Amino acid sequence: MKKPDEELKAAYALETPEDNKRLYATWAESYETTFAEAMDYRLPERVADAAKAFAVRGPMLDIGAGTGLLGQALVERGLGPVDGTDISPEMLGEAGLKGCYRHLFAADINEGLPIENRTYQAIISAGTFTTGHVGPDALDEVMRVTSPGGRLVLSINAEHWNAAGFSEKFEALSAQISSLEILTLPIYGASASGDHAQDAAQVVLAIKA
């Protein structure tokens, strides 16, 4: 039997969008049991709590929606409507079963989203801006599809934040952002085990100018 953090280590070892598509195609069906339950993965509900406290309103877009844990947590808190996008059609297939998204579409955020400029009042994300997945350059696309005055609630793995240069990217975007606050939140709960059990995320709360 695999250790609870074995799947996570495979995910952190990914290098390209194609690697992501391949891994998540095979992982989609068991992601919530072999990873989310096994590692006591709490980030989606913590990001949803932060979004509620930040008074986000819809329509909002969940970037890297995966199997829909964040969409579900948002809707449970009375937030929406929520659209979701992900590079993996298989992960979105699982998200669709939850019935909490208004619209789901497959896209690689690095290549651009099939969405008009300034479409969303909020962009939300949990677990996607992380090692081996999505880097800071995708924030240009996030800004493009956000309405002026719209809110960003984006979790970014703390190690990835430093290694990939997210501070520098937010500095470069500062003219487009009227307010920026960063929370540090634990990704996992008390029953997580292994090398990543204490990992944290930087959760960006920002308003587009």
Q: Closest distance between ligand SAM and the C-beta of residue 209, in Å?
A: 25
Residues 86-105 that bind ligand SAM (CB under 6 A): 86-88, 91
- What is the separation of C-alpha 171 from the centre of its chain, rounded to a whole number of angstroms? 21
Q: Closest distance between ligand SAM and the C-beta of residue 149, in Å?
A: 25
64 forms part of the interface with ligand SAM (CB under 6 A): yes
Q: Where are the beta strands (DSSP E) in the chain?
A: 60-63, 82-86, 103-106, 120-129, 146-157, 177-186, 200-208
Q: Which is nearer to ligand SAM, 137 or 179 (CB)?
A: 137
Q: Closest distance between ligand SAM and the C-beta of residue 181, in Å?
A: 21
Sheet of 60-63, strands arranged across: 103-106, 82-86, 60-63, 120-129, 146-157, 200-208, 177-186
Binding segment (CB under 6 A) for ligand SAM, from list 17-25, 53-61, 178-186, 191-199: 17-25
Closest residue to ligand SAM, based on beta-carbon distance: 66
72 forms part of the interface with ligand SAM (CB under 6 A): no
- How far apart, in whole angstroms, are the C-alpha atoms of residue 51 and residue 36? 20
Residues 174-203 that bind ligand SAM (CB under 6 A): none
Say how many residues make up the chain. Answer: 209
Rounded to the nearest 5°, which phi and psi values hold at 54? Answer: -90, 5
Nearest CA to 70 out of 96, 42, 45 is that of 45
Binding segment (CB under 6 A) for ligand SAM, from list 107-115, 142-150, 160-168, 177-185: 107-115
Binding segment (CB under 6 A) for ligand SAM, from list 128-136, 139-147, 174-182, 189-197: 128-136
Nearest CA to 188 out of 37, 29, 34, 10 is that of 37
69 forms part of the interface with ligand SAM (CB under 6 A): yes
- What is the separation of C-alpha 176 from the centre of its chain, rounded to a whole number of angstroms? 21
Interface residue with ligand SAM among 134, 139, 153, 203 (CB under 6 A) is 134
139 forms part of the interface with ligand SAM (CB under 6 A): no
109 forms part of the interface with ligand SAM (CB under 6 A): yes
- Say which amino acid occupies 10: A
Nearest CA to 188 out of 177, 179, 199 is that of 199
Positions that interact with ligand SAM (CB under 6 A): 17, 20, 24, 43-44, 64-66, 69-70, 86-88, 91, 108-110, 126-128, 133-134
